[in-house]
């Protein structure tokens, strides 16, 4: 019993990531509303078959569910703002209307549908278990009150005998379900972050960074693509050892992270090569100034604890205004710029401001 109470308190204190919760709840909201619409249509069809009459309440319910649900179907790429609150409001309304209809229409019959929905629907919501607990207890009180004022004393007693265990089961089931969903999302997020990160430097690795850049290209987000290579890095490893070389790479990664915004993509391509995609930076003068500042900052990283003994880097950069069709073509253009920077004696950068079609002429 003690372990059960400790686990329940642990579940109640779970806290989901708000953005993830809104994303999951918006999907669930669409499904719930469309399920309600189809249920009303089935009820309408049954009334036509059995009684040869139109059930206007079922028709109105189907139309209402369909109209509200259609608001969540388009623009799936839009931010999922307030989806959790919307799903909670819709769930409460559905349960309240179900309780009202069942207690009013079947006063001489014990409750059944509302008890089933009271157990299932709150479990669809991904939110803090404490909040779900409050919603369930509120709906339990409302349903019990509606039954008290609508049903005979013996039926009310039967309803109460059904509602109390159903409320308990719903509280435990929903709390554990919400807790497990939150923990699963956190685990997947952690695994994804680990798989996308370079273990040495902590920035994005080749797989994670290139995937994000591909998304930018697919969405035609303009920006500047930069390849950075540490000059003569092999001599650093040969002279001072790989452990010291790793320390230099960490300092390069830290400098890159501090030189760009969190929305920019910074990744380690492999070895001593790094890539940056500065989203939104499509002006040649601005890009040239930023690259000069970046190269100067990287040139201040010491190779060893000796005055004036610092690394140098070469960089190749291309401004993408939306003409590059894929990651490969953008990388090839920037790599050509890096090659030209190496030809010019290293410790410099070369920047192209040309469209994809013009790169063959360079």
- CATH number, domain of 260, equals 3.30.70.270
Name the domain boundary from 131, 166, 196.
196
pLDDT at position 278, please?
Answer: 92
Mean pLDDT estimate for the chain: 83
In a domain, 201, yes or no: no
In a domain, 336, yes or no: yes
Q: Give the pLDDT mean for 70-79.
A: 52
Residue 102 CB-density burial (10 A; 0-12 exposed, 13-18 middle, 19+ buried): buried
**Residue 192 and residue 211 share a domain:** no
**Residue 60 and residue 13 share a domain:** yes
**Residue 355 and residue 251 share a domain:** yes
Which of 127, 229, 264, 272 does the annotation list as catalytic? 272
**Residue 45 and residue 159 share a domain:** yes
**Residue 260 and residue 119 share a domain:** no
**pLDDT per residue over 224-237, tens digit each?**
999 999 998 988 88
In a domain, 349, yes or no: yes
Domain that holds residue 228: 206-361
In a domain, 18, yes or no: yes
**pLDDT per residue over 35-45, tens digit each?**
877 877 787 78
Sheet architecture: strand order including 265-270: 265-270, 273-279, 223-230, 313-320, 349-352
**Residue 245 and residue 152 share a domain:** no
In a domain, 278, yes or no: yes
Name the domain boundary from 166, 196, 226.
196
In a domain, 250, yes or no: yes
* Residue 360 known to be catalytic: no
Strand bridging mode 313-320 / 223-230: antiparallel
Q: Is the pTM of this model over 0.85?
A: no
Residue 186 CB-density burial (10 A; 0-12 exposed, 13-18 middle, 19+ buried): middle
pLDDT at position 273, please?
Answer: 93
Q: Side-chain half-sphere of 214: how many Cα atoms within 13 Å?
A: 8
Cβ neighbours of residue 131 closer than 8 Å, sequence gap 6 or more = 88
**Residue 143 and residue 231 share a domain:** no
**Residue 217 and residue 114 share a domain:** no
pLDDT at position 275, please?
Answer: 95
Name the domain boundary from 196, 226, 243.
196
**pLDDT per residue over 165-208, tens digit each?**
999 988 888 888 888 888 887 777 666 666 778 889 989 998 88
**Residue 240 and residue 162 share a domain:** no
**Residue 19 and residue 156 share a domain:** yes
3-state secondary structure of 241: coil
For 216, list phi and psi in degrees, rounded to 5.
-60, -40
């Amino acid at each position: 019993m003690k372990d059960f109470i400790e686990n329940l308190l642990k579940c109640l204190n779970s806290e989901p990531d708000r953005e993830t919760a809104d994303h999951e709840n918006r999907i669930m909201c669409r499904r719930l509303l469309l399920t309600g619409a189809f249920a009303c249509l089935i009820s309408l069809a049954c009334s036509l078959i059995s009684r040869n009459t139109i059930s206007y309440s079922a028709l109105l319910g189907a139309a209402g569910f369909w109209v509200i649900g259609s608001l969540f179907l388009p623009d799936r790429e839009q931010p999922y703002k307030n989806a959790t609150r919307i799903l909670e409001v819709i769930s409460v309304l559905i349960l309240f209307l179900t309780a009202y209809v069942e207690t009013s229409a079947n006063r001489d019959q014990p409750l059944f549908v509302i008890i089933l929905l009271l157990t299932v629907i709150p479990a669809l919501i991904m939110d803090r278990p404490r909040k779900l607990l409050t919603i369930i207890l509120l709906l339990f009180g409302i349903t019990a009150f509606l039954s008290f004022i609508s049903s005979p004393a013996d039926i009310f007693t039967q309803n109460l005998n059904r509602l109390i265990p159903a409320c308990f089961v719903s509280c435990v089931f929903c709390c554990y379900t919400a807790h497990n969903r939150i923990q699963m999302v956190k685990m997947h997020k952690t695994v994804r972050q680990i798989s996308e990160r370079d273990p040495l430097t902590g920035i994005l690795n080749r797989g994670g960074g290139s995937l994000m850049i591909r998304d930018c290209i697919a969405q035609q987000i303009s920006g500047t693509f930069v390849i950075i290579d540490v000059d003569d890095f092999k001599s650093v490893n040969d002279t001072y050892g790989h452990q010291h070389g790793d320390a230099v790479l960490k300092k390069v990664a830290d400098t890159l992270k501090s030189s760009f915004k969190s929305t920019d993509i910074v990744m380690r391509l492999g070895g001593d090569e790094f890539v940056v995609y500065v989203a939104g930076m499509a002006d040649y003068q601005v890009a040239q100034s930023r690259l000069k500042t970046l190269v100067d900052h990287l040139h201040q990283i010491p190779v060893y604890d000796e005055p004036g003994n610092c690394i140098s880097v070469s960089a190749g950069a291309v401004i993408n205004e939306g003409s590059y069709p894929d990651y490969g073509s953008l990388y090839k253009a920037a790599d050509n710029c890096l090659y030209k920077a190496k030809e010019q004696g290293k410790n410099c950068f070369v920047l192209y401001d040309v469209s994809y079609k013009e790169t063959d002429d360079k």
